[in-house]
Each structure stands twice: as structure tokens, then as C-alpha cells.
Amino acid sequence: MVELDSDLAARGAPAAVDELAAPAPVVAARGAIELRGLTKRYDEETVVDAIALSIAPGEFFSLLGPSGSGKTTTLMMVAGFVRPDGGAILLDGKDMAAVPPQKRGFGMVFQNYAIFPHLSVFENIAFPLRARRWANSAVAERVSWALELVRLGRFGDRHAHQLSGGQQQRVALARAIVFHPAVVLMDEPLGALDKNLRFEMQVEIKEIQQRLGMTVLYVTHDQEEAMSMSDRIAILNHGRIDQVGPPGEVYERPANSFVGRFLGEANLIEGTIAPQFADGTRLVLPSGHELRAPSASRCSGGARGMLFIRPERIEITPGANAAGGPRYNELAGRIRRCAFLGNILRYAVDIDGTAPVTVDLQNAVGVAPLPVGAPVVLRWPVAESLILPAEP
Amino acid sequence: MTGSIASPWTGSPAAAKAPRDRTLLLLLPAAAMLVLMFFVPMVLFFVRTFMEFQGSVAEFVTQARDLLFSRPYLTALATTNWIALTVTLAVLLVGYPIAYYLTTATGPSVSVVVLAIVLPYFTSIIVRTFSWMVLLGEHGLVNDTLRAIGVISEPLPLMYNRLGVLIGMSYVLLPYMVLTLYAAMRGIDTSLLRAAEGLGASGFYTFRRVYFPLSLHGVLSGALIVYILSIGYFITPALMGGQHDIMVAMLIDRELEVAVDWPSAALMSLSLLVVTLALYAIYYRVTDVRRLIGAR
């Protein structure tokens, strides 16, 4: 490990191919990124609004948001292609404002791969090394290391247009990591791949990131992708960060209804917030029915509110009799429709006085679909419920 | 097996071919005009030349050899190619930055530059050449200005010599180079340049390793177009050149107008046509002609 670090510092002899298996992080001590009040305006519109983030060395960090949320602009500012209108970008404590893109030393994977069409696979991957004036022998050694890493060992002589989309993606990845950057920036790198291949590449990228211990700043609009790979996720909306946290946290405890909806199917049952009780907060539905949640710190009594619950957290029982109990919320309703999604049966259940509630059931052995119109009782733990302020 | 599955959706080959055949009819007027006004006269011209020799192949070959290896012709041929080469290089050096500017810049300045390049295109070549004579003559604008500010005491010989020919021809041929390069450069994916920079390449390295190689087919096409047009040039060297700047086209004109020697003129024309066709064959190889007109 120590040897690897010094060899990196010298930027001379590259790591040998058999060090592929070494679990030791190659670059772990470096690669901390800090964004302080980062802002970008185009004309009147503020596309990135005072973003503040602190990313640790070796962390896989995703910027997740819909198109137009400012995630790519943020990444382009970190890369140095877009000049911020305010705030600062720090790499290992050093301000990057005056550093041009080519001197920032980031690895980069672009949305359309940006493979150089006139160069072979080998020369594409060698590009960052040659730009840094590495000796030919060192280039050859390091490129074959990278080719092995992305499992393209035999493809060095090929031209980019002879490769499939997935293979081009691997070339782009190899090119981004071949010079052992401490930080790799990825801009929707899997956007153009079909679903199965995307999943395969997610696993590979994550493995390589962990093996090399590099910091990854990853931009995506695909919440599953972000959740499956990231250590932490920042959810962007209209140029602001709505929430930062590990995947489980942002999924289970969204800061607002936007985050809740963006990360997957979500029920947001509207009602009026009743004053705080000893056993938590209550939300009164238009029908008069009460739902409970452990607490709702940012909501005041009497205000409009929403109870958040994921569809897969709700149990569904045929019949009309509620079991009751202090630890569960319950709602009675009727099946409106059932959608077959393969591994999941997705029910829409009509509830008196509110929008239909979505319930996901695993398509497990012995599960027979409930008929439309059947009376059912929905039931979920109070502890899983979350009361959020109503949307403005 | 896969073919038979696909066919109901893609249609049979015969059905796919039929509309293309009909659209070919649209080319008929143009093709007819080309045949009647260019191809037929040219063939007649060469046939008539051959008739001058009363069908004697031996005499034709002898005279052809004498002419094509004669000193005036070889000198003119060397001059022609040297001028064509110099003009091509000059136009490339001037045109490349302009074309690059056009592909990257935005705003009203682009229209101004495009207009400045294309507008002279619509003006008669003779008018343009005379304009240069007004500028470059012994008492032209350039010499007068330089003398007025005291840079020179004697007028510079800018015209009636090789320099005049090069200036005049480069100016006239510049649009061909710029427009060809522009078409090629516009096809370069700018995200590749960003990728190069992001991966640590300096601006110059990015240009040398990415941009220039990707624009190379445009450079070759533009150079060949300019070269092909240059070797057939006539008016500009005739008006702006000196007595040593005789190009092949001027020699042909002299044979027709002064010596009234049609067979010699025809032979020289034929030789020029062969060179042009050979260059065009290369041009066709290096260029995707469709890409030049913007179809990608």
C-alpha cells in the first residue's frame, strides 16, 4: 500500500496487473471535495443556488434530481468547465477557482462516453497518460492494467465504432481511472444503456470504486442507480439541495414530499395536523379518520399536512374489520384496480375522503390477486409513518 | 430465420426499391442539361481534334508527344502546379482559423464573417480581380498608404508577378476552403474536446491529438477542391501575373485565340482534364460527399 502511494507520487511506474486483486485503496487519503455556497445563474435564472456539500475521500456521492435541477451544472463547475457565479470549490482544502479543468486532475466519464473516434481503444485509454507525458513503456503497462480492470483485455486494438455501447462505456471508465485520479466525476454515465446492462455496469463501477478507493461524484436522474451505488445521495430540486443522506435514510425519511416522490412510489395522504399528543402527532383526514406518526417537528398544529408511507410498507387484509391497536395506522377501503408488474402486484385502494392509496405486494408463492371492488383493510406501523408539511 | 421474422416489418426489398427509382427521375432535367451542354460538346471537340490527323494514330501520338514534352508546356505545367500548391497552402493557413471561428462563435459577428466570405462569391470574378489591381498596383491603395506613412520610398512590386497571382487566386478560392472546412468542423463533437481537457490535455495537445485529426478529412477535401480549381485557373493569372506566370489554361487560350491551333489546344485540355479527374478520384475517396453538403 505504501509502495503504491509513493509510486503514484512519482507518477512513474504504474501498478502491475497482478495488483488488481489488492484490496488496498490506492488513493484513499486524497480526494475530499467541499462545495461552499456554489451558485450559478444564467440570465435571470438561478440554476444552482448556494449548494454546500462536503464529500469525504473514497466516498461514492451522487447528485440526484430531475432534469433541470442543476446537478449537471454543479458537476461541470466542479470539473472546471462552467465558471461559478458565487461560492467556492475545494479539493483537499485547496480552492479550485483559478485551476483550469486540465490541471484539476479529475477522472471524467461523460454522458455520451466521448470516446475519441479516430483513436483505438488502447490510445483512448492512454490519452490521459500521454497528455501527462508518460513514457511509452509506462503507458503500455498502465493501459493494459486498466483494460484488465474493465475486462476489455483483448480489445486494445479495436476502434471505438467496433464496440457495443456497454464496451464503449467500459473504455470511458478505463480512460477515467487509468491515471489513478483521486476523484472521478461521472455525468449520467449509464444513461444510454439498456436496463440489464445498466445494472451490470453499476455493480462494476461500484466494485472498481471500492477497490481503488477513489472518490466518485456521480450525477444521475435514476433514483435506483443512485441508491444502489452511493454512500450518500444529495437530492437536488430547482438548484437547491432538498436532502443529503445515505440511501436508506433519504428513502425512508424524506425531508419533504418532493424527495419522497422522487425516490420511488410514495403515498402522501393529505389531512389537517392535530396538536401534539403524548403518543405522537395525529393527522385528521377529511373523513374524520385519524392517522398517527411518531412526531412532526417541522409542522404546527392546525396546518395542512401529509402522511408519508411507502406502498411496500402497507399490509393489506381482505374484509372490513380493523384489528386496531396503538402501534398501527389503519384505513378501510375497496380495491380500485390491480396492476401486475411482474415481481410486484400494485393495488390502488379507494379510501373515503382521500386520493387512492397505493399498496405494493410481493408476487410471492400463494398470493392470489384480490378482486376489484373487494373490501380491504390497510395497516402499517405508526413508527414507519412520517408527517410532512403540505405542498405549497 | 431472423431475416424472415424481420421482413414483415421492414417490407420486401422490391417494395423498398420502388420509390428510390422514381425519385431518380427528378435528376433527369439536370442530367439532360449536363449531357447536352457539357459532355456532348467536349466529346465533339476531342473527336474533331482527332479528325485533324486524318485518322492517323501514329501522327496523333507523335504530335501529342512533341507538344506535351515541349519546353513551354512543361514550364507552364510546372508553374501551374507550383502556383496551385502555394495557393492551396496559403488558403488553408488563412481559411482554417476562419472556419474554426465560424464553428465556435455565436452572435451577430458570425453573420458578418459569413457575409464577408460568401458575398464576394456572388460578384463577378473579373470585378474582384480588377479590385485587387486597384489595391495592389504601383499607385494602388497599399503602396500609396505605405509611402504616405513613410514605410517605403519605392512602390513594392505587388502585381504583374507571382505574388500578384497568388494574392488574387487565394482570395478568390478562399470561400471554397472555408466552407469545406466549416462543414467538416461542424461535424466534430465538441464534447470530445471537453473530454480531452477534462482528462488533463492542454489546449494545444487537444488540438493536435483530437481536433486537427478529426478535421483532417475536411482539410484534404478543401485542399483538393482548391487545387483542382487552381490548376484550371485563367483570368486571375492572366490579369495579375507577369510574363513568367503562364499557366496551362493560359497556354490553351493562346493556342486557340492567337495560334488558332485547335489540335494543340485540345491535347492540352485533355491532359488537364486527366489530371483533374485523377485528383477528383482521390477527392472522392477521402471525402464523404454527402457530408460536405451537411447530410450526416
For residue range B138-173, what is the model confidence (pLDDT) as tens digits?
A: 888 888 888 888 888 888 888 888 888 999 899 889
For residue range B72-84, what is the model confidence (pLDDT) as tens digits?
A: 889 999 999 999 9
| A vs B: CB pairs below 8 A | 63
DSSP lists the bridge partners of residue A381 as A328
| A 150-189 residues inside an 8 A Cβ radius of B | 175-176, 179, 185
- Cα–Cα separations (whole angstroms), residue A250 to A226, A237, A253: 11, 14, 5
- From chain A, the residues in CB contact with B191 under 8 A are 110-112, 114
| B106 pLDDT more than 60 | yes
| B 210-239 residues inside an 8 A Cβ radius of A | 210, 213-214
- From chain A, the residues in CB contact with B205 under 8 A are 131
Q: What is the Cα gyration radius of chain B?
A: 25
Search chain A and give the residue with CA nearest B206: A131
Cα–Cα dist B63/B271, whole Å = 14
Residue A276: per-residue pLDDT: 65
Shortest CB distance from B213 goes to which of A111, A118, A128?
A: A118
Task: Tell me which amino acid residue B191 is.
Answer: S
* Chain A nearest C-alpha distance from B197 (Å): 5
Q: Hey, is the C-beta of A133 within 8 angstroms of any chain B C-beta? A: no
CB contact under 8 A, B196 and A116: yes
Shortest CB distance from A112 goes to which of B191, B201, B205?
A: B191
DSSP lists the bridge partners of residue A16 as none
CB contact under 8 A, A176 and B199: yes
* Chain A nearest C-alpha distance from B233 (Å): 36
* Chain A nearest C-alpha distance from B290 (Å): 19
Search chain A and give the residue with CA nearest B212: A118
Q: Report domain extents, chain A.
A: 2-252, 268-389
- Cα–Cα separations (whole angstroms), residue A135 to A10, A138, B192, B210, B285: 13, 5, 24, 20, 36
Q: Hey, is the C-beta of A75 within 8 angstroms of any chain B C-beta? A: no
Shortest CB distance from A175 goes to which of B194, B197, B199?
A: B199
CATH 1.10.3720.10 fits B73-122+157-292, yes or no: yes
CA–CA–CA angle B101, B102, B108 (5° rounding) = 105
* Burial (CB count <10 Å: 0-12, 13-18, 19+), residue A371: exposed
Segment B200-213 shows an average pLDDT of 92
DSSP states of B79-128: HHHHHHHHHHHHHHHHHHHHHHHHHH--SHHHHHHHHHHHGGGGS-HHHH
Shortest CB distance from B198 goes to which of A106, A117, A118?
A: A106
Q: Hey, is the C-beta of A81 within 8 angstroms of any chain B C-beta? A: yes
pLDDT tens over chain A, length 392 residues:
333 444 344 433 444 444 444 444 454 578 899 999 999 999 888 999 999 999 999 999 999 999 989 999 999 999 999 999 999 999 998 999 899 999 999 999 998 889 998 899 999 999 999 999 999 999 999 999 999 999 888 888 888 878 888 899 999 999 999 999 999 999 999 987 888 888 889 999 999 999 999 999 999 999 999 999 999 999 999 999 999 999 999 999 999 999 999 999 999 999 888 876 655 688 888 888 888 888 766 666 678 888 999 999 999 988 877 777 778 899 999 999 999 888 899 999 998 878 899 999 988 887 778 889 899 999 999 888 888 888 76
Cα–Cα dist A177/A2, whole Å = 19
For residue range B33-54, what is the model confidence (pLDDT) as tens digits?
A: 999 998 898 888 878 777 777 7
Query: Which residue in A102, A125, A132 sits closest to B200, CA to CA?
Result: A102
Shortest CB distance from B198 goes to which of A101, A117, A118?
A: A101
3-state helix, strand, coil in chain B (%, to 5): 80, 0, 20
Q: Hey, is the C-beta of A389 within 8 angstroms of any chain B C-beta? A: no
Question: Is this prediction's ipTM beyond 0.90?
Answer: no
* Chain B nearest C-alpha distance from A118 (Å): 7
CB contact under 8 A, B195 and A114: yes
Cell of A272: 389537517
For residue range A107-153, what is the model confidence (pLDDT) as tens digits?
A: 999 988 899 988 999 999 999 999 999 999 999 999 999 999 998 88
CB contact under 8 A, B198 and A175: no
A268-389 maps to which CATH number?
A: 2.40.50.100
Search chain B and give the residue with CA nearest A133: B201
| Cα maximum dimension of chain A | 78
| CATH, domain A2-252, list 1.20.1300.10, 3.90.870.20, 3.40.50.300, 3.40.605.10 | 3.40.50.300
- From chain A, the residues in CB contact with B217 under 8 A are none
Per-residue burial over B119-128, b = 16 or more CB atoms within 10 Å of its CB, e = otherwise: ebeeeebeeb
Shortest CB distance from A131 goes to which of B189, B199, B213?
A: B199
Per-residue burial over A23-48, b = 16 or more CB atoms within 10 Å of its CB, e = otherwise: eebbbbebbbbbbeebbbeeeeebbb
Q: Hey, is the C-beta of B296 within 8 angstroms of any chain A C-beta? A: no
| B12 pLDDT more than 50 | no
Q: How many CB atoms neighbour CB B222 within 10 A?
A: 30
CA–CA–CA angle A304, A308, A311 (5° rounding) = 145
